[in-house]
Chains A and B, each alone.
Chain A
């Protein structure tokens, strides 16, 4: 490298609809020496529009394909291990996050076996219950760590065919956006994952009240008053809300988070004799 070369530093922007726009407000905030976009409610609005537009196509993709694509996210993440290391993410956490993507990717074509059923009914019918995606899920990502916690809330939401609008933890935007870059280069259709950086306290109430959001994961909202406010705003339009107790993201995740964003469709089909 020639002496006196200027440093080329990355600008951390939002991830909406497969693109990396700046905040429409033009605002930024500083995290560990880097300027990061500070999302506004209008960025949130755009993200929900992108998520809604992408949802039917993503839900319509075969489960096998969704699994392949999420596995590719794990591959892309693995390739960026050094970059995460430079951002201060522990190697063990990167490895755990990669494993978590692989684990959830495997669920894509298996969830129907676990959450679906052929029901015995009192009549000449095939009666099948199959899990269906809920729609657009809004996620307030937890601040428990830069990468594994975010992965643990994002992957289970999208693997079943939902699309997600994620408010990244304010303290860890760089790792979240590096994950977004991995997602963007992994054949995940634009709009399936949308990631906004900034202050959740500012944007979460808009996300909760948004009438086009079907599910709301408040895992990352630690302020009890704000969480309650979001819950009542979400209740206005019967949005499904998940506000779990603090959890250990390093532990076996189970299928609870997958199941939270599923609807069950039951089909009655007449059966000859």
Chain B
């Protein structure tokens, strides 16, 4: 938990708690069109702390109830077929193992381009996500396709390395051909309230990325509460993130629907305040089509159509793709499929 409290009490939000008019979590209006204030927020630790601790609190029970209620939504037949294809198009097909080899990365890239070789109608995934040392291999395997290449960087998954090392890590990944960078925040600094340090590090990595997209991994499983998730989301967006991402997938709990709900509300409110749209990536622990569809329902109901595209919402997963393919085959053939009919990876 954060030991320090907001020094100046009320931040820019004042006493604006959950309003209750837009779902139980409340539609926070922390900046209210006050542009210059937001631009200056990142300047000092004190201003950042005042702003982040002034964000309205999250009703955790309400968030859990809201997502549980949305999880009962039934998506069938043509809607399901559309959703399954959309989920495939939103997928960052990931391999982040110490045992990754060039061959494994190449076969993953082949699967990313043609997830179901038997069906030309099956769309490719959004991106392949690998460690920086595998970027060159993946870049060669993906050349000439629309599949993006994401690389984790900044001492993934712990983020416990000197800033210079993190920047070099990022630079190397971009130079090798990554057009998306998944960085981790320094949770140690964030949890001890050194917000400016986290902010400046994200901003520095953002500069190193150049044209590449920056996804900022909050590792929500280590943040402790949804209030902290909301603060970390805002902090990342203020520092220039193009995406906020839930987890590394290396610790449990990884992505959960209440966490993603809070992050979706944060990007929605951030766009309302600044006009800049930020994407959300749910990563870790999403293995079944049923779970993936719950996230899509959550996106639709929270932020709506503007985010319902691979440009603005992503899944980070590896085994999810096989389950999506099995569901796709079930819809196409009418018979239940088995794991014998998809690749083992």
Contact = CB atoms under 8 A, between A and B. Distances in A.
A pairs with B: yes
Interface of A: 45, 48, 52, 206, 209-213, 233, 236-237
Q: What 5 pairs between A and B have smallest CB-CB spacing?
A: A212-B338, A209-B335, A210-B336, A211-B338, A211-B337
A45 B336 contact: yes
12 contacts: A45-B336, A48-B336, A48-B338, A52-B339, A206-B336, A209-B334, A211-B335, A211-B336, A211-B338, A212-B337, A212-B339, A237-B335
B82 interface: no
Nearest to A212: B338
Contacts of A48: 336, 338
B2 to A, nearest CB: 42
Interface of B: 334-341
Given A52-B339, A209-B336, 20 more contacts: A48-B336, A48-B338, A206-B335, A206-B336, A209-B334, A209-B335, A210-B336, A210-B338, A211-B335, A211-B336, A211-B337, A211-B338, A211-B340, A211-B341, A212-B336, A212-B337, A212-B338, A213-B338, A233-B335, A237-B335
Contacts of A211: 335-338, 340-341
B336 A52 contact: no
Contacts of A52: 338-339
A200 B341 CA distance: 26
B335 to A, nearest CB: 4
A211 to B, nearest CB: 5
A233 B335 CA distance: 9
Contacts of A233: 335
Nearest to B337: A211
Contacts of A212: 336-340
A52 B335 CA distance: 16
Central interface residue in B337, B338, B340, by most chain A CB within 10 Å: B338
A206 B337 CA distance: 11
B198 to A, nearest CB: 42
A59 to B, nearest CB: 16
A24 B334 CA distance: 20
B80 to A, nearest CB: 14
A210 B339 contact: no
Contacts of B336: 45, 48, 206, 209-212
Contacts of A237: 335
Contacts of B338: 48, 52, 210-213
A167 to B, nearest CB: 15
Central interface residue in A48, A52, A211, A213, by most chain B CB within 10 Å: A211
A164 to B, nearest CB: 16
A211 B327 CA distance: 12
A237 B337 CA distance: 10
Contacts of B335: 206, 209-211, 233, 236-237
A209 B336 CA distance: 7
A30 to B, nearest CB: 28
Contacts of A206: 335-336
B131 to A, nearest CB: 30
B71 to A, nearest CB: 15
A210 B329 CA distance: 12
A211 B337 CA distance: 5
Contacts of B340: 211-212
A233 B339 CA distance: 19
A103 B281 CA distance: 57
